[in-house]
Chains A and B, each alone.
Chain A
């Protein structure tokens, strides 16, 4: 096919809206359009087609009327007329963006809004579903706590050794949540990870690196981030047995005969009664 023929063909297809011109990296490229959409577009008048194509190009993110006006260069009244017509024909629909609830955003009728627009798993009807989040957080915490400490009836507050490698990962937590059917919607590993991050910031669990301590070629740039499986361990909330203020915890701090006490005297550290009591925990 020679150049003139190719040009002619391209122009015809462009007029029929079967292909469109895109600009990528400074070059102009041609892209084929779904025939169904092309058919719809060709039935519209010129303005309607402009609007329809611009909305289609916005995909599942949708386009704001202000941006639509800039892109199509149409007068507000003409634009609104075209939008009304397209809406009546059920070719486009108005959607609400969680971040910008007052903006008038449009997308093609059959497109599912992206999670950025709907807020994803954590939003229900444009509102942050705090009850849902709270109950999920509690469930995750319970599971993680159950796996963070060994079940040992004889030793109170037992802990695993420092080399214990089986603290739950986000994937395992997700499996637990899915199996327990607490959530009516499906949650991805990314969703669970964000939830676990909230728990980390709450101070109820801690994140453990999957790498053994001592590995030094651990770059901070997380390229292969997807494969890094962090583990999560519950933080034990006990009344701390570390002395709040050492000098008052030690019996000497509250001893009435402190000044009298000396190494070889009648009262000395060796035969101190308070120490006997204190050390017998």
Chain B
């Protein structure tokens, strides 16, 4: 995935940090284009191998087979869902260079019902934590809309196992939320996250 330098995003990231009585919150927004870079090829091959080898077994029951194949992106024996899964993992790899997400299972992602619901949910969280200026003054959603046309996006969220959370890098980490806004037509991905620390 190729990191996209966007001035308006730079501005957002600089101001996307505020404090409440209990915690320090940091937002992080990054835009990527689905262009292969570096280790992406290796990752792509890894995924293709994993999901095309399973098929011809014949010794798995239809139920078990569906169980391994069905994912939040669709059926992994079809290439488009596999590609989506690949883009998400590649984005994670790019966003957290000290980690290798090649072995992440598809069920560790969840697909959000619609971009509108995600926007609503994020707004509620932000306003409840006392930050409305990132939305109202800095026009965060407008900026993102220019990059990735939010209404045309599929939105996914990564749910890591507690111990292996890449956002948990310091003592005092409390929680984080993350969303991947994926526009298949534009071949662009926006990684959005908010982290709370003490």
Contacts and interface: CB of A to CB of B under 8 A. Distances in A.
A81 B196 CA distance: 33
B163 A102 contact: no
B103 to A, nearest CB: 6
Given A96-B103, A101-B103, A102-B103, A66 B163 contact: no
Find the residue from A65, A101, A102 having the highest chain B CB count within 10 A: A102
Contact of A76 (B97, B160, B164, B169): B97
Q: How large is the interface on A (under 10, 10 to 19, 20 to 34, 35 or more residues)?
A: 10 to 19
B104 interface: yes
A100 interface: yes
B98 A126 contact: no
Interface residue SS majority, chain B? loop
B100 A102 contact: yes
A65 B39 CA distance: 16
Interface string A29-72: 00000000000000000000000000000000000111001000
B173 to A, nearest CB: 14
Nearest to B169: A66
Nearest to B93: A102
Given A96-B103, A126-B103, A102 B97 contact: no
A99 B164 contact: yes
B91 to A, nearest CB: 14
B192 interface: no
B109 interface: no
B51 interface: no
Contacts of A80: 97
Contacts of B98: 64-66, 69, 103-104
A103 B102 CA distance: 11
B198 interface: no
Interface string B16-50: 00000000000000000000000000000000000
Contacts of A69: 98
Interface residues of B, number: 13
* Central interface residue in B96, B99, B101, B166, by most chain A CB within 10 Å: B99
A126 B103 CA distance: 10
A94 B103 CA distance: 14
Given A66-B169, A96-B103, A126-B103, A101 B164 contact: yes
Interface in B99-154: 99-101, 103-104
Interface string A88-105: 000000101001111110
A93 to B, nearest CB: 13
Contacts of B164: 99-103
Contacts of B104: 102
A104 B99 contact: yes
Nearest to A66: B98
28 contacts: A64-B98, A65-B97, A65-B98, A66-B98, A66-B169, A69-B98, A80-B97, A94-B100, A96-B103, A99-B163, A100-B163, A100-B164, A101-B103, A101-B164, A102-B96, A102-B99, A102-B100, A102-B103, A102-B160, A102-B164, A102-B166, A103-B99, A103-B100, A103-B164, A104-B98, A104-B99, A104-B100, A126-B103
Q: List the 8 shortest-distance A-B pairs measured between CB atoms, nearest first.
A: A102-B99, A66-B98, A65-B98, A104-B100, A100-B164, A102-B164, A102-B101, A99-B163
Given A64-B98, A80-B97, 7 more contacts: A65-B98, A69-B98, A96-B103, A100-B164, A101-B103, A102-B160, A104-B100
